[in-house]
Structure 1
Amino acid sequence: MQPAVDLNDIHIRTTLQPGDIGYITYLHGWLYSREYQYGVAFESYVAAGLVEFYQQYDAARDRVWVCEHQQKIVGFLLLMHRGEAAQLRYFILHPDYRGIGLGKKLLELYMDFLRQAGYRASFLWTTSELPTAVALYKRHGFMLVEERPAVAPFGKNVTEQRYELRTN
């Protein structure tokens, strides 16, 4: 069991370092397999998205938040430019670091950068299996705009959901 951790014990950096893309891919594969029975295709999907982010990275329009505790990545969030809108992607917290306010802190940092970078809209895709995350998105003004059944890349039947936010 992980000892109690305070939010102030977490270091959040906004740059990618060697090993981050691989570790975030691993963390998604490990956690989503364990908690939601997603398959290897999901891990591959995450890896491809992270590579896409890296290849088109623009420091003025894109951002990562890498959460570390004792030099181990324990959380992650990414803002990726998509034309005039920003896409929220790869929001993940290691289970031992949930419930300390880290998710709320990451989404606040996301919202701050969203405004600072001048975005008027943001969107994200998730699944109906993640009600805790959805509640956090809704508290920040994201609204459900689309639902559709999906199998790929999850390896099982899920309902994908698209949430959108207008900042003006």
Structure 2
Amino acid sequence: MANSTISAADIRIRTEIKPGDIGFVIYRHGVLYAEEYNYGFPFELYVAKTVHEFYQHYDPARDRTWVCEHEDRIIGFLVLQHRENNTAQLRYFYLEKAYRGIGLGKKLMDLYMAFYRQCGYDSTYLWTAHEHREAAALYLRYGFSLTEEAESTTFGRKVIERKYELQ
């Protein structure tokens, strides 16, 4: 539910990674997805492993983070990670509950798509779970298509992972 006193214009979005950002993203993914979707500890470990991989191969010319801050605290996050074959992966997209429904997700997607195009990638994709309906609707509005589904227990319980791609 949107907080009517906050607008997307109130949010500062930075692209530089600062000390603490990586650990915070792992922590908030673990807590938020446990609260909202009953994901277990394995999900937090998965995020830690893949965030570590992102940072190991981080190239500021081809990768980007968008860190959303309000009143000096992180309230959202998104990553574009370069992959093989001139492909980009959308990862770690999350917004705190109070900041949903104010246009911030759309703003982040606009920034993602602009950087994706600026870098000249041929395609982009993301993986998410079946219960993330609002996020999936956003991806579809930006031209992504559902291309693959697979059952998984990576998140500490059974989910259907879905791959969305944009060519």
RMSD of aligned alpha carbons: 1.0
Partner-residue secondary structure (3-state), 1:145: strand
Return the alpha-carbon distance in structure 1 between the equivalents of residues 141 and 157 of structure 2. 29
Return the alpha-carbon distance in structure 1 between the equivalents of residues 135 and 4 of structure 2. 24
* Counterpart position of 1:67: 68
- The change in CA–CA distance for 1:57 and 1:163 in structure 2 (over 3 A counts) is same
User: What is the CA distance between 1:3 and its match in structure 2?
Assistant: 7.2
User: What is the CA distance between 1:82 and its match in structure 2?
Assistant: 0.5
1:109 corresponds to 2:100:
no
Partner-residue secondary structure (3-state), 2:88: strand
Mark the runs of 5 or more structure 2 residues left unpaired by the alignment: none
Return the alpha-carbon distance in structure 2 between the equivalents of residues 42 and 92 of structure 1. 14
* Counterpart position of 2:157: 156
User: What is the CA distance between 1:58 and its match in structure 2?
Assistant: 0.7
* Counterpart position of 1:44: 45
Instruction: Normalising by structure 1, report the TM-score.
Output: 0.95
Partner-residue secondary structure (3-state), 1:88: strand
* Counterpart position of 1:29: 30
* Counterpart position of 2:135: 133
Partner-residue secondary structure (3-state), 1:17: coil
Return the alpha-carbon distance in structure 1 between the equivalents of residues 46 and 158 of structure 2. 16
Partner-residue secondary structure (3-state), 1:106: helix
* Counterpart position of 1:100: 102
Mark the runs of 5 or more structure 1 residues left unpaired by the alignment: none
Instruction: Normalising by structure 2, report the TM-score.
Output: 0.96
Give structure 1 regions of 4+ aligned residues with deviation exceeding 4 angstroms.
none
Return the alpha-carbon distance in structure 2 between the equivalents of residues 143 and 3 of structure 1. 32
